[in-house]
C-alpha cells in the first residue's frame, strides 16, 4: 500500500511540478502556451491570443482580457497600429501581488506576464508593465549591448502612450520623470550608453535619450513631427520578430522624420559619457516640482513641445 502511495505521489509530482515550472523558464514556452485555453482579442486588425497558465489568481479571466485590450489601445494611440499581427500573451500566476513581464519575438511575437495571485483590479488599473512589453514588440531585436535603446523606448513611450490614451495625466508622468531621470545620467567611469550596462543607464539613460530625441525632432520640424514619426517608420519596415543592427534601425527610423536626429544623438552618446543638465531641461519644458508633484507651466520656452509630446494627433 505504502509503495502504491509513493508511486502515485511520484506520478503527481512529475505531472504537476514540471507543468507549472515549464511556464517560468528563461524562454517563452511556445509549445506549452499553445496547449492552454485561449481568449482571442481583435484590436485594429491584430489578434492578441491570451492564455493563462495553471494556478490561483484573484483576478478573473475577464479582468485580465480587459487589461490586455486597454493596454493594446494605448499602444495603438501612439503607433497608429498594433506592432505585431498575432501576439501570444501568456499570464503566469506567481506568489505575491507584483506584475512583471518579458517580450519575445524569435518564434513569433509573445509577451509573458507574471501576475501575483493577490493582484487586484486596482493593480491592473495602475499597471505599466503590459504597455511596456507591448512597446518592445514595435522595435526590432537588438544586440544586448543596445538594451538601453530597447528599454529606453519602452520606458519613455509607455509613459507617453498612456497619457495620450487618457489613462494617466501628464503631471503624473513628469513627477516620475523628474524623480527617476537622474538615475540615467552617467556616473564615474561611464563609457557611453553602449558600454555601460548598469540598470540606471539602461532604463533611465535610454529613456532620457528618447526624450532628448523627441524634443530635438520637434525643434527641427517646427513641432510638426516627433519621435513617433521615426518609430512608425521603423515599425513599417520591421518589428520585434526580426533582428537588426542598431545603425540600420536608427537610419530607418530617421527616414520617418527626414532628419538625422537619432543618428546624431546615437553617435554622441554611444561611447561617451554625456552629462545633461536636467534642472535646466525641466525649466525649459515648464516642469517644476512643488511638494513632491510636478506642476506644469504653459509659458515656458519649450512648453508647446512638451504639450505636443503628450497630445495624440487625430
Ligand atoms: Zn523592458
For the segment 9-29, the average pLDDT, to the nearest whole number, is 66
Q: How confident is the model at residue 19 (pLDDT cuts 50, 70, 90)?
A: low
Q: Name the grid cell of 309.
A: 509630446
Q: So where are the chain's domains?
A: 29-136, 144-309
Whole-number Å distance, alpha carbon 223 to ligand 1 midpoint, is: 28
Q: What is the percent of the chain with per-residue pLDDT over 90, rounded to a whole number? A: 91
Q: What is the pLDDT of residues 83-112, one digit of tens each?
A: 999 999 999 999 999 999 999 998 999 999
Q: Give residue 153 CA to ligand 1 midpoint distance, Å.
A: 9
Could you tell me the distance, in angstroms and rounded to a whole number, from the CA of residue 147 to the centre of ligand 1?
Answer: 9
Summarised one tens digit per residue, pLDDT across range 34-65 is 999 999 999 999 999 999 999 999 999 999 99
Distance CA 190, CA 212 (A): 19
Q: What is the CA radius of gyration of the chain?
A: 21
> What integer pLDDT is reported at residue 21 of this predicted model?
81
Ligand 1 centroid–CA 176 distance in Å is: 17
Q: Is the pLDDT of residue 6 over 50?
A: no
Q: How far is the CA of 148 from the centre of ligand 1 (A)?
A: 9
For residues 154 and 158, what is the distance between their CA atoms, to the nearest angstrom?
Answer: 6
Q: What is the mean pLDDT of residues 154-176?
A: 97
What's the rounded mean pLDDT across residues 134-161? 98
12 has pLDDT over 70: no
Q: In terms of Cα–Cα distance, which of 221, 234, 235, 212 is closest to 81? A: 235
Contact 269, 192 (CB under 8 A): yes
Answer yes or no: are the C-beta atoms of 127 and 115 closer than 8 Å. no
- Longest distance between any two alpha carbons in the chain, whole Å: 83
Task: Quote the pLDDT of residue 45.
Answer: 93
* pLDDT tens-digit map of 210-256: 999 999 999 999 999 999 999 999 999 999 999 999 999 999 999 99
- 9 pLDDT higher than 60: no
Residue 10: pLDDT band (50, 70, 90) is very low
- Residue 314: the pLDDT is 61
The strand pair at 110-116 and 99-104 is best described as antiparallel
- The predicted pLDDT at position 25 comes to 87
The CA dihedral of 20, 26, 31, 35, to the nearest 10 degrees, is 30
C-alpha cell at 182: 537622474
The CATH code of domain 29-136 reads 1.10.390.10
What's the predicted TM-score (pTM) here? 0.93
For residue 313, the model assigns a pLDDT of: 80
Amino acid at each position: 500500500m505504502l509503495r502504491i502511495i509513493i508511486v502515485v505521489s511520484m506520478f503527481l509530482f512529475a505531472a504537476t511540478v514540471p507543468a507549472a515550472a515549464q511556464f517560468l523558464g528563461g524562454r517563452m514556452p511556445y509549445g506549452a502556451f499553445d496547449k492552454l485555453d485561449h481568449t482571442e482579442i481583435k484590436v485594429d486588425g491584430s489578434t492578441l491570443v491570451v492564455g493563462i497558465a495553471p494556478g490561483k489568481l484573484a483576478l478573473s479571466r475577464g479582468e485580465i482580457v480587459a487589461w490586455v485590450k486597454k493596454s493594446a489601445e494605448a499602444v495603438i494611440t501612439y503607433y497608429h497600429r498594433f506592432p505585431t499581427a498575432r501576439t501570444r500573451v501568456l499570464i503566469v500566476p506567481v506568489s505575491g501581488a507584483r506584475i512583471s513581464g518579458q517580450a519575445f519575438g524569435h518564434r513569433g511575437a509573445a509577451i509573458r506576464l507574471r501576475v501575483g495571485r493577490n493582484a487586484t483590479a486596482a493593480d491592473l488599473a495602475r499597471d505599466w508593465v503590459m504597455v511596456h512589453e507591448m512597446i518592445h514588440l514595435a522595435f526590432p531585436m537588438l544586440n544586448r549591448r543596445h538594451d538601453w535603446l530597447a528599454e529606453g523606448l519602452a520606458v519613455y513611450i509607455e509613459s507617453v502612450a498612456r497619457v495620450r490614451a487618457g489613462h494617466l495625466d501628464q503631471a503624473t508622468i513628469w513627477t516620475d520623470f523628474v524623480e527617476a531621470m537622474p538615475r540615467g545620467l552617467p556616473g564615474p567611469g561611464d563609457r557611453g550608453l553602449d558600454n555601460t550596462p548598469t540598470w540606471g543607464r539602461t532604463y533611465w539613460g535610454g529613456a532620457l535619450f528618447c526624450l532628448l530625441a523627441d524634443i530635438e525632432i520637434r525643434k527641427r520640424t517646427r513641432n510638426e513631427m516627433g519621435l513617433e514619426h521615426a518609430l512608425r517608420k521603423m515599425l513599417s519596415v520591421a518589428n520585434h520578430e526580426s533582428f537588426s543592427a542598431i545603425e540600420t534601425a536608427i537610419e530607418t527610423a530617421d527616414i520617418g522624420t527626414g532628419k538625422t536626429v537619432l543618428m546624431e544623438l546615437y553617435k554622441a552618446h554611444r561611447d561617451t559619457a554625456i552629462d545633461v543638465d536636467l534642472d535646466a531641461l525641466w525649466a525649459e519644458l515648464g516642469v517644476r516640482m512643488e511638494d513632491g508633484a510636478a506642476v506644469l507651466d504653459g509659458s515656458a520656452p519649450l512648453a508647446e513641445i512638451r504639450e505636443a509630446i503628450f497630445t495624440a494627433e487625430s
